[in-house]
Structure 1
Amino acid sequence: VQSGKQVADTNRISYVGFDLSIKSPDQMAELFADLPEAIENTSKIAQRCQVEIPMGTSILPDFPVPAGTTAKSELRRQCIEGVKTRFFFDYKKQQDWKESEILPSPSNDLTEEMTMRVAKRMEYELSIIEKMGFESYFLITADFINWARKQNIAIGPGRGSAAGSLVGFLTGITDIDPLHYNLIFERFLNPERISMPDIDTDIMDARRDEVIDYVRIKYGADHVAQIITFGTMLARNAIRDIGRVLGFAYQECDYLAKLIPFGSTLKEALESVNDLKDSYNANERNKKLLDLAQRVEGVARHTSVHALLKMDFLGLANLNIIQRALEIIEAIHEQKIEIRNMATDDPEAYKLLSRAETTGVFQLESAGMKRYLRELKPTEFEDIISMVALYRPGPMDSIPTFIDSKHGRQIITYLHPILEPILEKTYGVIVTQDQVLQIARDFAGFTYGEADVLRKAVGKKIKKLLDEQREKFIDGAVKNKKIDRSTAQKVWDFIEPFARYGFNRAHAACYAMIAYQTAFLKAHYPVEFMAALLTSDLNNLDRIGIEITECQGMGVEVLPPDVNKSFVDFGVVKKDVEMNGRSSLQCTCQQDSHIYFGLAAIKNVGADVSKKILKNRKEFGEFANFTDFLVRLGSDVVNKKVLENLAKSGALDSLIERQQVLANIDKILDFTQAVSKQKNTDQSGLFGEITTETPDYVLTLDKVSEADSKTRLAWEKELLGIYLSDHPMKYLETLIPADAEALNKITTDRDGQPVRTAGVIARSRTIMTKNNQPMAFVTIEDQSSEIELIVFPRVFEQYSDFWQEGRAILVDGTISSKDNRSGGTMSEAKILANKVWELHENPQEKIPGFDPKANRRRNFNGNKNNVEMTSRVISTEDDNTRPLIIHLPEGSSKQILIDMKAIFEKCPGDSPVILKIWQNGQEQTIATKTKVTVNGIISHQLRDLIGKENIEL
């Protein structure tokens, strides 16, 4: 597992033939018979090693404070400064602040009640911290976090229960106001059960080491250490790891792993899950996998290193994205955004979330989450907190109720009136563990400290502890609140599952804040945000392909790589910069900037070569021609692999045709070697004087025909992860029957319906069924989207030669959106393939009733009435004078017209807008004075507003 090899690999590491057992004293004496003094000296050394480690005492580090002060007084001073900064922005100099008090009276910024809440909470927390002796811990944490921020190192708004501390907020450790978000301090430090503090810090992972180095330098290497932690192998991971070692396909392992219930062991699952039991008994292959997985389950899978105990320095890539986006925004727009202090009420951010355009948005980009966001249509920050908390095993079952209750489709009821103020903001649904604690306090008379003990007891699932807490809860409700026992029992049954699986509200609020920040940046600065996102996935072509597809849907143009224009990373360039006539598949004019594909993201080019190309370009200007490129960079940079991949990817298109490089590669390499040799010879004369003459180098290449479109696109897919300059389906339109639908039309609400569609195979995975027959999961893509085909054994065998990546196929099948395991709806539709044809000028099997020669012009979206349009199709059409026809659905509200007008205003152009409205049973046509530019942005937003079927171009 550790080496990443398979059992069948003869070159893997093996311990066969090695005796690595621990020897007995007699065996050691026999082995060292010729060196008896070695045994004796070993014993003497062991006896001299005498150390006593005091047990039961926590030794915390001290924070260096100014002379005449203590850690206690310094923490109080920082908190008072924090109150001025966080709550009284206009009164920093005007108020008389004293070390021993907050404000005796409120400022104009806060009500008197709020001022007292701040003062009371701060004094309470400081008293608990003092009692536990944790002042230095807070000071040390605040020090390295505030230092990092001064160095422009992005730090997360908080993490875990520590965000429930007002002291943490005041000292800059967190950016979440626990009073505003109603976060419970006792979830962090429980005065009734003293335990070590635990503040985890999210740091942009690109600069995490700098923060660790700062702490090491400040406190000394002998006072700072990193410790090892062991990750144990849980049931699902055990199946996936052992399956990979045995050579199983990923899909096979994934299927078996997902049969195991959350938190269950393999043994428990084999006894309770019939499908898993059937798979185990189906064949020896599965039996071996599951038997071996049981043997490694629970053992240490891997080691990792994290910061000193109770101070976790955790790298978070999303903070890199935010920081990079802010830097690009400042460079392009000369605008500095204070992301930490922004309000959480931006309408455009919530519109983006409601449209589920959340690729790259922290915590909200999975397919399932996108489906729920479309249904929820979040309108406030509390909605984001709730989705972050609910979208995980256990609480996820409550999401449909939460959504229906928000939109009034389900009546909200409470088991008792005491629960209403606690659950009102979450529509009667328990979303976080903090609500359980509040119910325990307000309903059963617990203190917050006692309620936290209840939470931990439920989480451990120890029957004795659970029974004790249950009786205490019911008795408390009856005795303290005069509630009847039956109601108390119902409330316990209601809260008990959430106490076990519920999420920490403080942690959910922190992650919701990062989600909101990324959504805000994506909504208002789409080009800059997407460039930062693409850069974060520089070495992951699969993610780059997904993210560029997202760019195309947003109207953000990503230009192909170019050695004369591109940067090392994905860079943003204003559109008034010369483009040399180059364009991408999706070209819109709605953004004032576009993105150039990063040179380092080209497969097998790498950052080192890219940096050298960029450095040379900055020093000497753009490359005049291909010879200039070779001469200036030399053979040390331009090797065979780099040249081939730069050419195939299109990065040299502004200098030379791709095929000409590949056909002359040996001649080019000989030339670069000769140039480098000549340069070294000419650098000094006979007596060592430096020469400044630059000789004229001449490269003569054989002429060859250009690479055809199919070949060029295949190279792009291989090296860039996406068809960037064009799409192969464009060249197959006349081969596709008119009744074939675009992939983006195939949705989950059409479960069980027959469908015909076409696409290029992007990925294909073959697995073996229980009956040891091959089947496949094949992902196809067209210009609008991608979808997975499920190819069962009969169809797989019938078309066994078809499942190669890059092959274009036509498919007849049945739409499937039912999740057979859960009984619910899957987040994305799939197709059960029944019949398959190859899309080829001379296919092996003709499509019945279809004549390609008669299919001269085809509506690519597969809509017979020609009323469907998508961002891709519109953007590739270069006719911006055709009318945009909107079929306004019957019963449409005034708000739809207002929203539609706002969309039109963003996209002025030359295409007239025509409305078709149903009145008195007839469709009336209204020619408006509005004219728009029909492109990816407008089609995407109109599709979300009124539906694809109501748009016609």
Structure 2
Amino acid sequence: MNLSNKKIIPFVHLRSHSEFSVIDGILKIEHLINKAKDFNQPAIALTDLHNIFGLVKFYKKARASGIKPIAGCEVYMSDSLDSKSYYRIILLVKDYDGYLNLCSILTKSFTEKKYKKSKVPLIIKTWLIENNKGLIVLSGARLGDIGQLIDSGNIELAKKRAKEWSELFPSNYYIELCRSNNILDQQYTNHALKIAMELNISVVATHPIQFLEKQDFQSHEVRVCIAEGVSINNPNRKNKFSETQYFFSTEEMINLYSDVPSAIINTSEISKRCNLILPLGNPKLPNFYHNNIELNNKESFNKLLLNMSKEGLNERFINDLPHLNDNAKQQYEDRLQHEYKIIVQMGFASYFLIVQDFINWGKKNGIPVGPGRGSGAGSLVAYALGITDIDPINYDLLFERFLNPERVSMPDFDIDFCQDNRERVIEYVKNKYGKDSVSQIMTFGTFGARAVIRDVGRTLDFPYTFCDNLSKMIPFNAIDPWTLEKAISQDAAFKEKYEQDEDVKYLLDIAKPLEGLTRNVGMHAGGVLIAPGKLTDFCPLYCPPEQPNNLVSQFDKDDVEAMGLVKFDFLGLRNLTILDLTVKYIKELNSNQKNLVLSKIDLNDFNTYQILCESNTTAIFQLESKGMRDLLKKLKPNNFEDIIAILALYRPGPLESGMVDDFVNRKHGLEKVNYFHQSLEPVLKNTYGIIVYQEQVMLISQIIGGYSLGKADLLRRAMSKKNPDEMSKHRKTFEEGAIKKGYSNILAKKLFDLIEKFAGYGFNKSHSAAYATIAYQTAWLKANYPAEFMAATMSSDMDDTDKIKLLYQDCIFNNLEILPPNINLSIFKFKPIYDLKNNKKNILYGLGAIKGLGYSIIEEIIKSRNEKGPFKNLIDFCMRIGKSINKRALESLIKSGSFDSIEKNRALLFNSIPLAIETANQALISTHQQSLFEHDTIKKDLSFYDDSLVNDWSLNKILTEEKQSLGYCISGHFFDIWVDEIKKIIPNRLINIQPKQELQLICGIVCCIKKIVTKKGKIILITIDDKSSVLDVMIYHDLYDLKKEVIIEDNFLAFQCFVYKNEYNENIRIIAQDIYSILNIREKYLKTILLTVTSKKLIDINALKNILLNYKSDNSNISISVKFINYIKSFSCILKIGSSWNITPTDEALFSLKKLDGCEDIKLIY
């Protein structure tokens, strides 16, 4: 054929990697399709590397653009499981059979044992042979087995392999030609063409598309380096790609293969043979098993649902709603029937049955389940079935907000399970429906603006601080994240950096094409698929290399639903774990609460509302943040509806609109409540005339506008989307409906304007009511059983030292004593214990929160304690625990104070570790595991427990080591070290600091240092703590540079500062003018160091002289005096040493004087 007539020769790209190749692709699918359209190419294949993550998106977008989508995949192949080598080929899908076969072999490659070891998913050739129907094989060019053999010079074997492939895949095997500017490409092409000609195998031309335009090559290289974790400048890095791997036009491809016209023509021929039709839409639910009998028709589903719903409602009447009269019960029965008809009409009976089954299994097996979440809490059928525990009628929750008969879509129950036991429920579902039918769902992590700067900068070898500071210049907005382009165009400082700093411009220009691309794959937080049959009949599965037993779908949430799979949400909620453990602790410690059930607690408890009004809400679900605390203080909630409203109101929209202030003022009678019409008072009464919930919008539309609740939900949706055409239609319908119902047109217009305004701010009351239930339960427990609740809360956060510290501080604030870990009493978790002597409950520290201790060691400690009683001393402990414990773990236990109940001298214990371990080892060897204390020879070695031989650590040392072990201190406070010394110089405590015009001197222990970049430059916030309060001190960068050597966490610092009233809130603002260390304070204010000597033992004069010489300072004004006391003759005198012996009063100098032989005491006189 003559290739000069280029217009009539169609060409199709059959090899492309999109961003979903993750490792080496940066092409967005829409860009790939648009480019094919620009070049008038009728079709295009997506062949990502060993996955089809992007297939559904590609399929839908291509068809919508008039481009034929060809499904395919570049796969890793191996001849056998024993083979150590592998190669790559292209598989293209001809039809649905081919799609199913591709799904099957891809999935198998991720579940094979070899993958778990090598981390490379391999398709074994025999699998492909057994599942070859509907698939076309391209040889893989130089990366394929034939290409590798040609490159290595083994031409005959290459020819033999090609013959095998062509026989295994008659008419479906093509030798792939690929010219990507590599020096070996021509050699490969020559031999490949010769083999193809000799064996009569068709050839096909491909081009390995990795990026869109030629200028994207550098960004692509950086993306590859990010995936490989290497620097782009690494001399040992292999250059696998070239700048020619952009999207070639048809002309470029024809020119490239002008010598092999059939290779171009065959791209179109293959395209014609690939006609995959994906069955999108039409959700497919699995059949339900009841009492081990499979139900597989709608009639049986419907009948069972009705029976179970009625039975469940009757149980609710008895157990949860005994106060209802017959009329009220009839209202519930009518609502149940109404919901049931809609469920049946929409064909979702089996969905409700499946969900109730695994929820009720969880409840029966001791797994805490949340009261509800999302709009599902509005269903009475769900309440009757035990899916939710919120009475929807009592809280005016609407079923149509969950399931709208006028808008057919799958219902979606979001279920919260106790985090520790969520996997048990998923395992139950796998066992019930089959492991081949259940998996979790893939998610994609993307390059955000800040992250891409750090990733690209690291790869380009820019300094960490340069990248970190640049990334932090991008404003943070979680709701509407800033992009690099937006930051460059709208942030003046960032724009200036980009335009004036060449390094910044270079980095950002490379980063921009990567921003928003898929960076990594992960697992959906709660989504679980249950398929009617094998999952691979719908999509392939993937297994992350670091989680070899966690299969996830290769499609994300939207795409699995498009394929007809139904997602069930199994969400893990830590607070349910806390509630469960708290109740267990309460039952253990309180004999009168053995039957406590949280769903039945009093919703009008005085103690609960008191802590809410005081904003004492650390550890209370959803109410912990500073902003929420401020709102609680203003609102002062005194009923459960207030808590529901708070959760709905504390969001950016309502806060910015002024709704929240109106709500607070109306509650406290400072503003008049307006219901607009008396018929709306029942709807708006609980929210003081303010439209807070979406359900209120729906009810107003029903009452005034004559809407059905289904149509009212459509109105709510239209309002949230702010579609002008839709809104215009609804306005007309609403006003006409209002007039028909006898309301004035003025009222109708006013109300429509009102709901249109507030619909954007309205929140789902069903969700708010469900989460308000958990919030109230946690508040009730904290208010009434604080020790049990805080012990459970701290147990749930043992891996988070910062959170434990915060909770510890809250315990102190609430007068709860935290007892240090005790080797003979503590368990893995924190636990409440009753103090009979003082008639109160304390919290005993959990061994699991000590750094360096693993679960197995703690398990061994508790087991030994239970079997043989308390540990008697360090040797006893070492011998009984044996090899289970190492030196580091033993050190952590001692530093944490775990052995204080046995021996308070931690220095003695710490120094004795080697001897204890050695003695225990010798005892074990000599006694053949018999009791250590049966032998007199071992008893003698216990003499090291004479604490007179070793001085205990100083308080500073105790606290420092304790912090290293626990993350913070519970034996004391660093401020205790200095408080007596500085109280005359700085008597004012932080809690008493008030704004003044003059400079003030304040002090505290540094507990946090934050560097903040503002438009005016860098500032540093130093958080200090003096036990009375915690405050932030602001210092400017020039002062920080001068004093940064002493600005260290846990250091004592004093600040000469101005204290201002904060103009935005009731707090104060502190700006430091100077900073003093304890040494600076002494040098400035200390007058004399007074040593006390008595007649009992005279001081060692030579030793004193040596100390003074070591710390002597000619510039010091601090004198040394010695006070001598003669107890026999009852007199004393003070000897002042000359100024030539004045010293620098460092901690080391004072410590040396204090330890001086004969020195009874040392005093600092200011």
For residues 429 and 765 of structure 1, the distance between their equivalents in structure 2, rounded to whole angstroms, comes to: 41
Find the partner of 1:247 among 464, 478, 483. 464
Q: Tell me the equivalent position of 1:455.
A: 716
Following TM superposition, by how much is the alpha carbon of 1:235 offset from its aligned partner in structure 2, in angstroms?
6.0
Q: Which shows bigger deviation, 622-631 or 301-310?
A: 301-310
Computed over aligned residues only, the root mean square deviation of the Cα atoms, in angstroms, reads: 4.0
Secondary structure of the equivalent of 2:794?
A: helix
Matching of residue 594 in structure 1 with residue 720 in structure 2: no
For residues 1069 and 923 of structure 2, the distance between their equivalents in structure 1, rounded to whole angstroms, comes to: 56
Matching of residue 831 in structure 1 with residue 1075 in structure 2: no
User: After the TM superposition, which residues 398-413 of structure 1 pair with which residues of structure 2 at under 5 Å, given as runs?
Assistant: 398-413=659-674
For residues 279 and 756 of structure 1, the distance between their equivalents in structure 2, rounded to whole angstroms, comes to: 40
Q: Tell me the equivalent position of 1:125.
A: 339
Following TM superposition, by how much is the alpha carbon of 1:361 offset from its aligned partner in structure 2, in angstroms?
0.6
Secondary structure of the equivalent of 2:809?
A: helix
User: After the TM superposition, which residues 134-173 of structure 1 pair with which residues of structure 2 at under 5 Å, given as runs?
Assistant: 134-173=348-387
Following TM superposition, by how much is the alpha carbon of 1:843 offset from its aligned partner in structure 2, in angstroms?
3.4
Find the partner of 1:307 among 512, 520, 528. 528
Whichever residue aligns with residue 75 of structure 1, its letter is L
Q: Which shows bigger deviation, 725-734 or 50-59?
A: 50-59
Q: Which runs of 5+ in 2 are unaligned?
A: 1-21, 26-46, 50-73, 75-88, 91-137, 151-157, 174-272, 530-565, 1091-1166
Following TM superposition, by how much is the alpha carbon of 1:608 offset from its aligned partner in structure 2, in angstroms?
2.0
Q: Tell me the equivalent position of 1:64.
A: 289
Question: How has the CA–CA distance of structure 1 residues 594 and 80 changed in structure 2, closer, same or farther, with 3 Å as cutoff?
Answer: same
For residues 670 and 505 of structure 2, the distance between their equivalents in structure 1, rounded to whole angstroms, comes to: 48
Secondary structure of the equivalent of 2:1032?
A: strand
Q: Normalising by structure 1, report the TM-score.
A: 0.75
Matching of residue 326 in structure 1 with residue 583 in structure 2: yes
Q: Tell me the equivalent position of 1:621.
A: 869
Secondary structure of the equivalent of 2:480?
A: coil
Q: Which shows bigger deviation, 503-512 or 39-48?
A: 39-48
Q: Tell me the equivalent position of 1:519.
A: 779
Q: Tell me the equivalent position of 1:28.
A: 141
Decide whether the 8 Å contact of 1:239 with 1:257 is kept in 2.
no
Report which of the two structures shows the higher radius of gyration computed on alpha carbons.
2
Question: How has the CA–CA distance of structure 1 residues 129 and 42 changed in structure 2, closer, same or farther, with 3 Å as cutoff?
Answer: farther
User: After the TM superposition, which residues 866-945 of structure 1 pair with which residues of structure 2 at under 5 Å, given as runs?
Assistant: none
Decide whether the 8 Å contact of 2:791 with 2:830 is kept in 1.
yes
Whichever residue aligns with residue 573 of structure 2, its letter is L
Question: How has the CA–CA distance of structure 1 residues 326 and 731 changed in structure 2, closer, same or farther, with 3 Å as cutoff?
Answer: same
Following TM superposition, by how much is the alpha carbon of 1:556 offset from its aligned partner in structure 2, in angstroms?
1.2
Secondary structure of the equivalent of 1:147?
A: helix
Secondary structure of the equivalent of 1:307?
A: strand
Whichever residue aligns with residue 709 of structure 1, its letter is L
Decide whether the 8 Å contact of 2:683 with 2:696 is kept in 1.
yes
Question: How has the CA–CA distance of structure 1 residues 284 and 516 changed in structure 2, closer, same or farther, with 3 Å as cutoff?
Answer: farther
For residues 506 and 319 of structure 1, the distance between their equivalents in structure 2, rounded to whole angstroms, comes to: 19
Question: How has the CA–CA distance of structure 1 residues 44 and 480 changed in structure 2, closer, same or farther, with 3 Å as cutoff?
Answer: farther
Decide whether the 8 Å contact of 1:362 with 1:515 is kept in 2.
yes
For residues 755 and 643 of structure 2, the distance between their equivalents in structure 1, rounded to whole angstroms, comes to: 22
Following TM superposition, by how much is the alpha carbon of 1:304 offset from its aligned partner in structure 2, in angstroms?
1.2
User: After the TM superposition, which residues 483-522 of structure 1 pair with which residues of structure 2 at under 5 Å, given as runs?
Assistant: 483-484=744-745, 491-496=751-756, 498-522=758-782
Whichever residue aligns with residue 612 of structure 1, its letter is E
For residues 244 and 184 of structure 1, the distance between their equivalents in structure 2, rounded to whole angstroms, comes to: 52
For residues 49 and 676 of structure 1, the distance between their equivalents in structure 2, rounded to whole angstroms, comes to: 74
Q: Which shows bigger deviation, 393-402 or 163-172?
A: 393-402
Q: Tell me the equivalent position of 1:341.
A: 600
Q: Tell me the equivalent position of 1:707.
A: 953
Matching of residue 797 in structure 1 with residue 1041 in structure 2: yes
Following TM superposition, by how much is the alpha carbon of 1:570 offset from its aligned partner in structure 2, in angstroms?
0.6
User: After the TM superposition, which residues 523-534 of structure 1 pair with which residues of structure 2 at under 5 Å, given as runs?
Assistant: 523-534=783-794
For residues 831 and 273 of structure 1, the distance between their equivalents in structure 2, rounded to whole angstroms, comes to: 29
Question: How has the CA–CA distance of structure 1 residues 600 and 393 changed in structure 2, closer, same or farther, with 3 Å as cutoff?
Answer: same
Secondary structure of the equivalent of 1:313?
A: strand
Secondary structure of the equivalent of 1:296?
A: coil
User: After the TM superposition, which residues 633-652 of structure 1 pair with which residues of structure 2 at under 5 Å, given as runs?
Assistant: 633-634=881-882, 636-652=883-899
For residues 89 and 743 of structure 1, the distance between their equivalents in structure 2, rounded to whole angstroms, comes to: 53
Matching of residue 350 in structure 1 with residue 609 in structure 2: yes
Q: Tell me the equivalent position of 1:78.
A: 308
For residues 548 and 262 of structure 1, the distance between their equivalents in structure 2, rounded to whole angstroms, comes to: 32
For residues 842 and 936 of structure 2, the distance between their equivalents in structure 1, rounded to whole angstroms, comes to: 38
For residues 714 and 452 of structure 2, the distance between their equivalents in structure 1, rounded to whole angstroms, comes to: 32
Following TM superposition, by how much is the alpha carbon of 1:188 offset from its aligned partner in structure 2, in angstroms?
0.7
User: After the TM superposition, which residues 713-732 of structure 1 pair with which residues of structure 2 at under 5 Å, given as runs?
Assistant: 713-732=959-978
Question: How has the CA–CA distance of structure 1 residues 727 and 144 changed in structure 2, closer, same or farther, with 3 Å as cutoff?
Answer: same
Following TM superposition, by how much is the alpha carbon of 1:434 offset from its aligned partner in structure 2, in angstroms?
1.9
Q: Which shows bigger deviation, 702-711 or 240-249?
A: 240-249
Following TM superposition, by how much is the alpha carbon of 1:137 offset from its aligned partner in structure 2, in angstroms?
1.3
User: After the TM superposition, which residues 119-518 of structure 1 pair with which residues of structure 2 at under 5 Å, given as runs?
Assistant: 119-232=333-446, 247=464, 256=473, 259-260=476-477, 262-266=479-483, 267-268=485-486, 271=489, 292=511, 295-297=514-516, 299=518, 302-305=521-524, 306-308=527-529, 309-334=566-591, 335-336=593-594, 337-397=596-656, 398-413=659-674, 420-460=681-721, 465=726, 469=730, 473=734, 482-484=743-745, 491-496=751-756, 498-518=758-778
Q: Which shows bigger deviation, 168-177 or 619-628?
A: 619-628
Whichever residue aligns with residue 801 of structure 1, its letter is E
Encode CA deviations 1:656-687: one digit per residue, 9 max, x unaligned.
Answer: 422224334444444444445446xx269xxx
Following TM superposition, by how much is the alpha carbon of 1:518 offset from its aligned partner in structure 2, in angstroms?
0.6
For these two proteins, the number of residue pairs brought into alignment is 792
Q: Normalising by structure 2, report the TM-score.
A: 0.62
Decide whether the 8 Å contact of 2:739 with 2:745 is kept in 1.
yes
Decide whether the 8 Å contact of 2:879 with 2:932 is kept in 1.
no
For residues 322 and 846 of structure 2, the distance between their equivalents in structure 1, rounded to whole angstroms, comes to: 51
Decide whether the 8 Å contact of 2:875 with 2:919 is kept in 1.
no
Secondary structure of the equivalent of 1:181?
A: coil
For residues 344 and 293 of structure 1, the distance between their equivalents in structure 2, rounded to whole angstroms, comes to: 53
Identity of matched residues, %: 35
Encode CA deviations 1:685-712: one digit per residue, 9 max, x unaligned.
Answer: xxxxx99976853356494321100111
Question: How has the CA–CA distance of structure 1 residues 756 and 120 changed in structure 2, closer, same or farther, with 3 Å as cutoff?
Answer: farther
Q: Which shows bigger deviation, 287-296 or 161-170?
A: 287-296
Question: How has the CA–CA distance of structure 1 residues 439 and 658 changed in structure 2, closer, same or farther, with 3 Å as cutoff?
Answer: same
Question: How has the CA–CA distance of structure 1 residues 27 and 535 changed in structure 2, closer, same or farther, with 3 Å as cutoff?
Answer: closer
Whichever residue aligns with residue 561 of structure 1, its letter is P
Which structure would you say has the larger RCO, counting Cα contacts within 8 Å and 6 or more residues apart?
1
Decide whether the 8 Å contact of 1:249 with 1:767 is kept in 2.
no
For residues 599 and 887 of structure 2, the distance between their equivalents in structure 1, rounded to whole angstroms, comes to: 47
For residues 252 and 57 of structure 1, the distance between their equivalents in structure 2, rounded to whole angstroms, comes to: 50
Following TM superposition, by how much is the alpha carbon of 1:26 offset from its aligned partner in structure 2, in angstroms?
8.3
Secondary structure of the equivalent of 1:804?
A: coil
Question: How has the CA–CA distance of structure 1 residues 255 and 200 changed in structure 2, closer, same or farther, with 3 Å as cutoff?
Answer: same
Encode CA deviations 1:853-911: one digit per residue, 9 max, x unaligned.
Answer: 99xxxxxxxxxxxxxxxxxxxxxxxxxxxxxxxxxxxxxxxxxxxxxxxxxxxxxxxxx
Q: Tell me the equivalent position of 1:611.
A: 859
Secondary structure of the equivalent of 1:230?
A: strand
Decide whether the 8 Å contact of 1:354 with 1:373 is kept in 2.
yes
